[in-house]
Amino acid sequence: MSLTADDFQSIQKFLLENSAVRLASGKEYLVEGRLQAIVYKEDLEDLHALINEVKKNPNSGLSKQVLEAMLTNETSFFRDRHPFETLKTAIIPALLKNPDQQIRIWSAACSSGQEPYSLALLLADSFSWIEKPKIKIVATDISASMLEKCQSGLYTQFEILRGLPPHYLPRFFERADSQWKIKKEIRDRIEFRYLNLYEQWEGLLPMDIVFIRNVLIYFNSDVKMAILEKIRTVLKPGGYLFLGSGETPDGFEKYFESTDFSTSSCYKLTLP
Ligand SMILES: C[S@@+](CC[C@H](N)C(=O)[O-])C[C@H]1O[C@@H](n2cnc3c(N)ncnc32)[C@H](O)[C@@H]1O
């Protein structure tokens, strides 16, 4: 049985209330494609039965599975390349001029971890002489299953082939059956934790660099503005904000100045 208009609206509402993610009309195929596997796994009658369960108990483990299945986790190592070049050639060397301060980088909405691991690999490769506590990387996401994968550090050959420079593989990964496991020395450079961007942000120290890429596109403009406002308070004055290519800090141009770092989608928080 395919999705009814009511079922679709219930999923739209559930997703919006729990993650702020908007699901546009016409995306019924996405709900069917992503939730059918849960129907089989949980031995439910059909999608309608699954959505009824979610409506009855939106906080259950089953509802969490539904939420996670509806989120888009697309990512890759060194995605868009330019942000990482900019960090390596300009931003990290500039921040290192202050010997006393810890450099803090936040990868918000880190999905399966390729973004924060790219940051950690860049540091291990190009700044190996820096003592590890000097640079701290925090990576967060709303999805418990994505965070579990991040912590495992396990990637398939297909995931490795998407963006990882080939010479990093023997240096920083080891074989784990049919997959590759990122070495502990790299995993230890990152603190992974749950954070819903739509809720209060707790326990974040002032950041020098925030990567929040390819997630604001899923939110409506009010939520996006509220998140940009919170980033303004988390970033140190003069700190750097990286958005996804094509994303812009609409309404916040006064605070986030465009930089001339090529095509990096990098903005600098203005000094007060
Ligand atoms: C397309 S991925 C982006 C991954 C990475 N930043 C990149 O650019 O490659 C979007 C991520 O946003 C996360 N996400 C969606 N809504 C969220 C929310 N309200 N709070 C935190 N993370 C969220 C999803 O779980 C998913 O992992």
Task: Give the global pTM.
Answer: 0.96
Architecture of domain 82-269: 3-Layer(aba) Sandwich (3.40)
How confident is the model over 61-68, as a mean pLDDT? 98
- Pick from 5-14, 68-77, 171-180, 261-270: least confident: 261-270
Residue nearest to atom 2 of ligand 1 (CA): 73
| Chain-centroid distance, C-alpha 226 | 18
How confident is the model over 234-250, as a mean pLDDT? 94
CA of 30 to the centre of ligand 1 (A): 17
CA of 200 to the centre of ligand 1 (A): 16
Residue nearest to atom 16 of ligand 1 (CA): 19
Please provide the average confidence, as pLDDT, over all residues in the chain.
95
Q: What is the pLDDT of residue 262?
A: 72
CA of 216 to the centre of ligand 1 (A): 8
Domains 5-70 and 82-269 share a fold: no
How confident is the model over 198-204, as a mean pLDDT? 94
CA of 120 to the centre of ligand 1 (A): 19
Q: What is the pLDDT of residue 1?
A: 61
Element (H, E) at 186: helix 184-187
**Per-domain boundaries in the chain:** 5-70, 82-269
How confident is the model over 127-148, as a mean pLDDT? 95
How many other CB atoms sit within 10 Å of the CB of residue 78? 21
Q: What is the pLDDT of residue 264?
A: 75
5-70 fold: Chemotaxis Receptor Methyltransferase Cher; domain 1 (1.10.155)
Q: List all residues whose CB is within 6 A of at least one atom of ligand 1.
A: 19-21, 71-75, 79, 109-111, 115, 141-143, 146, 196-198, 213-215, 218, 244
The CA distance from 119 to 190, in Å, is 9
pLDDT one-digit tens code per residue, 4-23: 999 999 999 999 999 999 99
Q: What is the pLDDT of residue 227?
A: 98
Give long-range contacts, CB 8 A cutoff, 24+ apart: 195-198. 195/108, 195/140, 195/141, 195/142, 196/19, 196/142, 197/20, 197/108, 197/109, 197/142, 197/227, 198/19, 198/20, 198/223
Q: What is the pLDDT of residue 100?
A: 86
High-pLDDT (> 90) share of the chain, %:
93
CA of 97 to the centre of ligand 1 (A): 32
8 A C-beta contact, residue 118 and residue 79: yes
What b/e sequence results for 36-58 when a residue is b if at least 16 CB atoms lie within 10 Å of its CB, and e otherwise?
A: eebbeeeebeebbebbebbeeeb
